[in-house]
Structure 1
Amino acid sequence: MLYQPWPWYVSGPLIAIIMAVLILLGKKFGMSSNLETFCSVGGAGKFTDYFKIDVKSKRWNLLVVLGSVFGGFLGAHVLSPNPAVDITDETVAKLQGLGFESAGKAYLPTELFSLEALSQPMVWVILLVAGILVGFGTRYAGGCTSGHAISGLSNLQRPSLIAVIGFFIGGLIMNHLLFPLIFGS
Structure 2
Amino acid sequence: MELIKEPWPWYVSGPCIAIVMFLLLYFGRTFGMSSNLRTMCAIGGAGKLSDFFNFDWKSQRWNLTVVFGAVLGGFIAHYFLSNPIDIDLNAQTIKDLDDLGFKNAGSSLLPPELFAWDNVFTFKGIAILLIGGFLVGFGTRYAGGCTSGHAITGLSSLQLPSLIAVIGFFIGGLIMIHVIFPILF
Q: Same fold (TM over 0.5)?
A: yes
In 2 relative to 1, CA 131–76 (structure 1 residues): closer, same or farther, beyond 3 Å?
same
2:83 is matched with which residue?
A: 81
How far residue 75 of structure 1 moved from its aligned partner, in angstroms, is: 1.3
1:171 is matched with which residue?
A: 173
Q: Does the aligned pair in 2 maintain the 1:77–1:83 contact within 8 Å?
A: no
Do residues 25 (structure 1) and 27 (structure 2) align? yes
Q: Does the aligned pair in 1 maintain the 2:32–2:153 contact within 8 Å?
A: yes
* Distance (whole Å) between structure 1 residues aligned to residue 71 and residue 87 of structure 2: 18
Matches within 5 A, 1:1-185: 3-82=5-84, 85-101=87-103, 103-183=105-185
* Cα RMSD (Å): 1.7
How far residue 88 of structure 1 moved from its aligned partner, in angstroms, is: 2.8
Q: Does the aligned pair in 1 maintain the 2:89–2:106 contact within 8 Å?
A: yes
**Structure 1 spans left out of the alignment, 5+ residues:** none
1:11 is paired with a residue of what secondary structure? helix
Aligned AA (1:127): L
2:145 is paired with a residue of what secondary structure? coil
How far residue 139 of structure 1 moved from its aligned partner, in angstroms, is: 0.5
Q: Does the aligned pair in 1 maintain the 2:6–2:83 contact within 8 Å?
A: no
In 2 relative to 1, CA 34–2 (structure 1 residues): closer, same or farther, beyond 3 Å?
farther
Quote the sequence identity (%): 58
Q: TM-score, normalised by structure 1?
A: 0.91
Q: Which runs of 4+ in 1 moved over 4 A?
A: 83-86
How far residue 118 of structure 1 moved from its aligned partner, in angstroms, is: 2.5
How far residue 10 of structure 1 moved from its aligned partner, in angstroms, is: 1.4
Q: Does the aligned pair in 1 maintain the 2:33–2:67 contact within 8 Å?
A: yes
How far residue 47 of structure 1 moved from its aligned partner, in angstroms, is: 0.5
* Distance (whole Å) between structure 2 residues aligned to residue 95 and residue 73 of structure 1: 28
* Distance (whole Å) between structure 2 residues aligned to residue 95 and residue 24 of structure 1: 44
* Distance (whole Å) between structure 2 residues aligned to residue 87 and residue 59 of structure 1: 40
2:89 is paired with a residue of what secondary structure? coil
Aligned AA (2:67): V
Q: TM-score, normalised by structure 2?
A: 0.91
**Structure 2 spans left out of the alignment, 5+ residues:** none
